[in-house]
Copies of this chain bind each other. A is one copy, B any other.
Amino acid sequence: MSFKSNRTEIFIYGLSMALFIGLLKWLEARFIVLNYRLDFFIGAIAIAFTVLGIWIAHKLLKPKVETRIVEKEVYIDREYPEEINQKEIEKLGISKRELEVLILMAKGHSNDEIAEKLFVSVNTIKTHTSNIYLKLEVKRRTQAMEKAKRLNIIS
């Protein structure tokens, strides 16, 4: 259980305690309920202090912090378009060949055309594209194009 350091609440609790003790003393001096309704009296105290406990717990308990991440769109006007790309490529672990494929892909070429240009089979291109999608964390070729351009890893 963790508490906030709220002196006012602690003071109120202490004051309540003092008041209850005072009340008890007064009742004791008067001999009103002590003999006949001791059960009831103690029950009342129990209930009262239970409620007090609930109240102070409610007051003093640290609220659970729920962190909510809100995406804030920040528009940037790029002045140096060719600056970031190489770092991003390395960060994503995109290989030379994959980059070649990515560039041709972004120009709008089909897998067959890319395969022809690079003198390899379509299957190879498919493997490359799949790996590109994994590394770019996308599902489709269009998303790969979009993300690659946004990250400036292609022009």
Contact = CB atoms under 8 A, between A and B. Distances in A.
Given A20-B46, A53-B54, A108-B140, A74 B77 contact: no
Contacts of A25: 39
Q: Which one of A28, A34, A46, A138 has the highest number of Cβ atoms from chain B below 10 Å of its Cβ?
A: A46
Interface residues of A, number: 63
A142 B106 contact: yes
A38 B39 CA distance: 13
Interface of A: 1, 17, 20-21, 24-25, 28, 34, 38-39, 42-43, 45-58, 61-79, 81, 105-110, 138, 140-147, 149-150
- 5 A-B pairs closest in CB distance: A53-B53, A108-B143, A63-B64, A57-B57, A50-B53
